[in-house]
Amino acid sequence: MPTNKRSRYRGSRTCGGGTHKNRRGAGNRGGRGRAGINAHHFVKWYMEMGGPVFGKNGFFHNPAVTVAVMDVGIIDQILPSLIAQGIAKKEGDTVVLNAADLGIEKILGSGKVTKKLTISAEAFSQQAIAKIEKLGGKALVV
C-alpha cells in the first residue's frame, strides 16, 4: 500500500477530488489574487501583512506611533530613589530632572505632585504643566 499521496493517487483521474467537474476555476481557491481580504481571507492577510492592508498599496501602512510616557505623580513618588541614583539633582528646594535620562519622552498629568520640580522633556500634557507650575516648578520642553 502506498504511503504518500503522490503514489496513492497515481493513475486515478481526479486524485480524490470527487468528480472531474470539481476543483475547477478560481472559486475553488477562494478567488483570484487578493479576493476576499475584507471577508473570507481576512485572517490570512491580517497575519501575513501584520495588520489591515487595503487598497493598491495599502491605506493603513502607518504603524501606531509609540511614545514613552510617565505620569508626573509617579515621578513625584520615585524622586527619592532618582536622587539617590544621581539621575535627579536637588538644588535648594527644587528637584531638577531630565526625562530623557529615564527614557521618557512625554510627561502626563495623572497623580499628585508634592515637590517643586523642574523637568525637561520632549512633551508635556496640559494637566502635567498645570500641576508642576502650581507648586512653582518649571516644565521645560527640550
- Report yes or no on 57 lying in a domain: no
Q: Is residue 61 part of a domain?
A: no
Residue 102 amino acid letter: L
C-alpha cell at 28: 475553488
Q: Look at 88 and 1; give whichever has higher pLDDT.
A: 88
Average confidence (pLDDT) over 50-61: 60
Examine the domain organization and report whether 38 and 95 are in the same domain.
no
Range of the domain at 103: 69-141
Q: Which residues contact 75 (CB under 8 A, 6 or more apart)?
A: 82, 97, 107, 117, 119
Tens of pLDDT, residue by residue over 103-134, are: 999 999 999 999 999 999 999 999 999 999 99
Report the percent of the chain where pLDDT is more than 70.
87
63 domain-assigned: no
Residues 79 and 137 in one domain: yes
pLDDT beyond 60 at 59? no
Q: State residue 136 phi and psi, 5-degree precision.
A: 90, 10
Tell me whether strands 138-141 and 106-108 are parallel, antiparallel or unpaired. Answer: unpaired
CATH label of the domain that carries residue 34: 4.10.990.10
| Shared domain check, 123 and 80 | yes
Say which residues have a Cβ less than 8 Å from residue 88's Cβ, sequence separation at least 6.
79, 82, 95, 96, 97
Q: Are residues 78 and 136 in the same domain?
A: yes
pLDDT at 64: 63
In a domain, 55, yes or no: no
Is residue 74 domain-shared with residue 136, that is, in the same domain?
yes
> Does residue 54 form part of some domain?
no
Residue 38 falls inside a structural domain: yes
Which CATH number is 102's domain given? 3.100.10.10
pTM (two decimals): 0.56
